[in-house]
Amino acid sequence: MATAVMTTLDQRTRAASRGMSDISIRNLFIIPTILFLIVFNIFPLLYSLYYSFTDFRASTNAPANFVGLQNYRELLNDPFIWSNFAITAQYVIVSVTGQVLVGFGVAMLLNRDIPFKGLITTLLLLPMMLSMAVVGLFWKLLYDPSWGVINYALGLGNFEWLANPKMALYAVAITDIWMWSPFVMLLSLAGLSAVPKHLYEAAAIDRAGSFYTFFRITLPLVAPILMIAIIFRTMEAFKTFDLAYILTSQPTTEVISIRLYKMAFQEWQTGRSCALAYIVLIMVIAITNIYVKYLNKVKER
Amino acid sequence: MRKTLTGLLAGIGLSLACSTSAFSQELTIFWAEWDPANYLQELVNQYEAETGVKVTVETTPWADFQTKTFTEFNAKGDAYDMVVGDSQWLGAGSTGGHYVDLTDFFKKHNLGEVMAPATVKSYAEYPGNSGKYWAIPLEGDAVGWSYRKDWFEDPKEKEAFKAKYGYELDVPKDWKALRDISEFFYRPDEKRYGIAIYTDNSYDAMAMGFENALFSYGGELGDYTTYKVDGIINSDKAVAALDAYKELYKFTPPGWAKTFFVENNQAITEGLAAMSMNYFAFFPSLLNEATNPHAKNTGFFANPPGPDGDQFAALGGQGISIVSYSKNQEEALKFLEWFIKDDTQKKWAELGGYTCSKAVLESAEFQNATPYNKAFYETMFKVKDFWAVPEYAELLQQLNQRLYPHIVGGEGSSKEVLDALAGDWKATFAKYGRGQ
């Protein structure tokens, strides 16, 4: 049935010259991919949706009882969970804003003719090539109040970056900004270099100020690609785990994914953690959708 | 050349074939990655020499020991024949069907008498006082204290201390002295601090630290048979204990907000603190001059009594259980029979393991072997532990959520915090249909 709808393979392609038919391509590539997706993505997704309505615990042999919406009700009424969400939101805002400001700023600086531009760009990209766990471990040393190099360099004495409940989340965000600003920088740089030079020349002839040039020419033209960077970073920041988990154990840095991990793999409340995972999933999808809508609007301009 | 290669391959093949037949019987023990696991590997090498059965001690870092073990259990995997599990796992391990019931083995070898009573109660029996046993006490452990002998014995310090507090500076006789000495040595200008305590809230560190105060102040977590908590965990004694523990936090080195055994040993090796709380299992490295420049000046003492003279310590340590999904249960039982022999236990202690065997613990030879063995012996007869019910991790999480902001962040009063905790625990026990 499906074969009837398929168009014939273009005779000039390499696959056709090797004698591959549409059907063999489907059998070789499409079906395994779909099967893979079903087995490793779709099935677990639906299975965990079922578990989210039960009191299942993976650590016992007790059968899973259907409890309806109880998990969702209890989670959404739990003040600790809401504080985890509030912390996550605060973290996302601070860290993504910081990354965009730093990343875009550095990109602006690099978007001109300077010596060793390629080398500088490559060196600036190094942080995001490191493993999250490694970054977490050595920033923990950098922040250390007794022998950390940050307090020494800034002359802050024994300032407690990670032990101070109010400061800890910002300390984690600063590490994240250090690590991921290069990513924003890279995308911004691509956007900036694509802005036609003649627009700047025209603006200069019209004696437009540098602020005016930036807000009327540079930003609107780089906006679509910057939005993509923001979408990626927001999604990543929303589900951040490694840095916060390694750097501190403050309740003020317990972002939602750490709570989820503890619930699922330390407390083995499998059913309830599935429900929490779904709540997080729905939130991420909603936020991403808002961005994508905005991105489309920006592109239309 | 080619001939050599063929010969080589044939040789490898032959030796592989021989080795698999020679070691047809293998046992795997799973434990956390720390020194005692290395000592255990040395011990079991002797078992291999005696019987030909190869025993491997497999390890994983502490941080994911619990997760990895239970992931294997939940999948009913047979990768491990035996596991040296934490005492809190007994409930989950036994009711979840992951551990083999060792009650008959226990009675046959009269282990209730052979091993120190506290270790039998905490590492082996579940539910409490049921007479059902799921593990053999393997590594005894409890929280003790290390301190800087040179600071304590300095005549100038002694004089200044006596002038300020009216009594001699010495190993703390009670929790009040612990507090005074911490305050006395807290000198941020000299980069010297009073005390190092557990504050990490990602697993059981802070709970173990607080328990040292709680039990010695005469408080309890709750009633282990009826699961009543209200009026016990928030009793006046418990509130006083939390106040005391919170006050010690003031005298810790800067940034002491996510600390467990590694950091607390560092407090001594880096010369930061006068006294440091830690499990006995981590004391051997404090006597090693390669790892501790102050090794010669490091002393040890047992957790001091509280205001009413009660003296207890938080229990660490583990028992060894047979995994019910293992295909080598018979062989594992034979191994355990060898492990509980007096000779083996003696060797275990000599290698650096903390035996739970009463006879070995009581021997003068053991007590004089290291500067901390005597404190260990004294402590092992007065230890108490956290809840061992299957949902212990939820109880732990609730304790962390309530206590941490209070101890480290200074939020709320001790009474408010413990009242809230009693409420959390009551609801959790009710959820699982326990008592009350």
Q: Give CA–CA dist B99/B91, Å, rounded.
A: 10
Over 90: is that where the pLDDT of B118 sits?
A: no
Q: Residue with structure tokens 């259907």?
A: A66
Amino acid occupying residue A227 = M
pLDDT at A12: 67
Amino acid occupying residue A213 = T
Question: B25-141+316-384: which CATH topology?
Answer: D-Maltodextrin-Binding Protein; domain 2 (3.40.190)
* Neighbouring C-beta atoms of residue B26, cutoff 10 Å: 14
Encoded tokens for A192? 């900036």
Contact status of B128 with chain A (Cβ, < 8 Å): no
- CB-nearest partner of A267 from B397, B408, B409: B397
Exposure letters A233-251 (e unless 16+ CB within 10 A, then b): bbbbbbbbebbbbbbbbbb
pLDDT at B230: 95
Q: Residue with structure tokens 């079903």?
A: A38
Over 70: is that where the pLDDT of B20 sits?
A: no
Over 50: is that where the pLDDT of B21 sits?
A: no
Amino acid occupying residue B242 = L
Contact status of A172 with chain B (Cβ, < 8 Å): no
| E strand map for B344-424 | 383-384
pLDDT at A112: 86
Contact status of A267 with chain B (Cβ, < 8 Å): yes
pLDDT band per the 50, 70, 90 thresholds, residue B18: very low
pLDDT band per the 50, 70, 90 thresholds, residue A11: low
| Domains B25-141+316-384 and B143-314+391-431 in one fold | yes
| Distant-in-sequence contacts of B268-273, Cβ < 8 A, 24+ apart | B268/B146, B268/B148, B268/B196, B268/B292, B268/B294, B268/B298, B269/B293, B269/B294, B270/A146, B271/B148, B271/B192, B272/A146, B272/B191, B272/B192, B272/B193, B272/B196, B273/B148, B273/B185, B273/B192, B273/B193, B273/B194, B273/B195, B273/B196
Q: Residue with structure tokens 């005894």?
A: B140
Q: Which of B131, B87, B90 has the alpha carbon at shortest distance from B111?
A: B131
A61 contacts in chain B (CB < 8 Å):
96-97
- CB spacing of A146 vs B202 below 8 angstroms: no
Over 90: is that where the pLDDT of B241 sits?
A: yes
- CB-nearest partner of A266 from B66, B257, B401: B66
Contact status of B423 with chain A (Cβ, < 8 Å): no
Q: For residue B395, how far is the Cα from the chain centroid?
A: 18
- CB spacing of B393 vs A268 below 8 angstroms: yes
Per-residue pLDDT tens over the stretch A197-246:
899 899 989 988 889 999 999 999 999 899 999 999 999 999 899 999 99
Q: Give CA–CA dist B167/B158, Å, rounded.
A: 9
Q: Which of B140, B135, B138, B127 has the alpha carbon at shortest distance from B103?
A: B135
Distance from CA of A165 to the nearest CA of B (A): 6
Tell me the angle at which helices A270-300 and A256-265 cross, rounded to the nearest 10 degrees: 150
Per-residue pLDDT tens over the stretch B383-433:
888 998 888 889 999 999 999 999 998 999 999 999 999 999 999 999 888
Among A59, A247, A259, the strongest candidate for a mutation testing the B interface, having the largest count of B CBs within 10 A, is: A59
Who contacts A141 (Cβ-Cβ below 8 Å, separation ≥6)?
A: A147, A148
B201 contacts in chain A (CB < 8 Å):
249, 251
- CB spacing of B97 vs A61 below 8 angstroms: yes
**Interface pTM, i.e. ipTM:** 0.71
Who contacts B269 (Cβ-Cβ below 8 Å, separation ≥6)?
A: B286, B291, B292, B293, B294
Q: Residue B375 in 3-state DSSP?
A: helix
B203 contacts in chain A (CB < 8 Å):
266
- CB spacing of A266 vs B393 below 8 angstroms: yes
- CB spacing of A146 vs B254 below 8 angstroms: yes
Over 90: is that where the pLDDT of B136 sits?
A: yes
Alpha-carbon Rg for chain A in angstroms: 25
Query: Mean pLDDT for chain A?
Result: 89
Among A51, A60, A137, the strongest candidate for a mutation testing the B interface, having the largest count of B CBs within 10 A, is: A60
Question: B143-314+391-431: which CATH topology?
Answer: D-Maltodextrin-Binding Protein; domain 2 (3.40.190)
B257 contacts in chain A (CB < 8 Å):
160, 162-164, 248-250
Contact status of A242 with chain B (Cβ, < 8 Å): no
- CB spacing of B254 vs A59 below 8 angstroms: no
- CB spacing of A60 vs B253 below 8 angstroms: no
Give the DSSP H or E segment for A72: helix A70-76
Over 70: is that where the pLDDT of B9 sits?
A: no
Cis status of the peptide bond prior to B284, with omega within 30 of 0: no
Q: For residue A224, how far is the Cα from the chain centroid?
A: 17
Q: Give CA–CA dist A237/A93, Å, rounded.
A: 9
- CB-nearest partner of B258 from A80, A249, A265: A249
Give the DSSP H or E segment for B137: strand B136-139
Contact status of B271 with chain A (Cβ, < 8 Å): no
Average pLDDT value for residue range B343-350:
93
Contact status of A252 with chain B (Cβ, < 8 Å): yes
Instruction: Sketch the domain layout of chain B as residue ranges.
Output: 25-141+316-384, 143-314+391-431
**CA dihedral in degrees (A28, A34, A39, A45; nearest 10)?**
170
Q: Identify the structural domains of chain A with CATH numbers, from first to last.
A: 2-51 (no CATH), 79-300 (1.10.3720.10)
CB pairs < 8 Å spanning A and B = 87
B393 contacts in chain A (CB < 8 Å):
266-268
- CB spacing of B200 vs A249 below 8 angstroms: yes
